[in-house]
Amino acid sequence: MKINEIITEAKAVKQRLDPKCWKGKHKEGTKIKGGVRVNNCVPNNESTELEEEFNLIESIIEGIAERNQVDSEAIWEDLESLSDDELYVFAVTSTPVNEDWQKVNKKDKTDGMSRKAVKAYRREHPGSKLKTAVTTKPSKLKKGSKASKRRKSYCSRSKGQMKMHHISCQKTPDKAICKARRRWNC
């Protein structure tokens, strides 16, 4: 080929260079595909994938240790007998053990959520800001304190729910909202 032909061929090639490759791939130069110059996206090396998998396993072990109130090192010692493949299968197939906070609440037989039920709910939903009811009598609460504000807010919210759903606690005192309102001293 002559130089002129090479130059005209190079001008004929269009370029479509995306700024990034898709997830799990990285750019290694460019290539011509169907007359268009595109990024050469190749799979990421397996070491990063293995590292991500190991981090997944580590987080699961820490979660199990926290739930059972044992040291994570003790669990690691038990798992050392497993091969890497068995450990990976354990990590992928194991699901966290969830408590049923509603069952805990029914066992306590309290109006509204008990302290045990709130703890079970928090274990089931990490990061939750759920708190127990303010059961202190309104006369004992300091005016403007956090507890009195929470109580006032709950009482007004629950009153709105009762109006919206046409609930009368005099007629149906065993409804959940009526029990909760009694617990909050509304």
Residue 96 has a pLDDT of 52
Of the pLDDT bands very low, low, confident and very high (cuts 50, 70, 90), residue 97 is very low
Among the listed residues 181, 179, 185, the one whose alpha carbon sits nearest the alpha carbon of residue 111:
179
Domain co-membership, 57 together with 37: no
Of the pLDDT bands very low, low, confident and very high (cuts 50, 70, 90), residue 162 is very high
Rounded to two decimals, the pTM is 0.45
Q: For the segment 10-46, what is each residue's pLDDT rounded down to a tens digit?
A: 555 566 666 777 777 878 888 887 777 788 888 876 5
Among the listed residues 66, 74, 52, the one whose alpha carbon sits nearest the alpha carbon of residue 96:
66
Domain co-membership, 178 together with 159: yes
On whether residue 89 sits in a domain, the answer given is yes
On whether residue 1 sits in a domain, the answer given is no
What is the SS3 assignment for 156?
Answer: helix
Tally the C-alpha atoms within 13 A of residue 126's C-alpha that lie toward its C-beta. 5
Domain co-membership, 50 together with 38: no
**pLDDT, mean of residues 165-169:** 92
pLDDT(141) > 80: yes
On whether residue 71 sits in a domain, the answer given is yes
Range of the domain at 30: 14-43
Domain co-membership, 128 together with 154: no
On whether residue 148 sits in a domain, the answer given is yes
More confident residue, 163 or 68: 163
**pLDDT, mean of residues 79-101:** 63
On whether residue 2 sits in a domain, the answer given is no
**pLDDT, mean of residues 124-145:** 86
On whether residue 144 sits in a domain, the answer given is yes
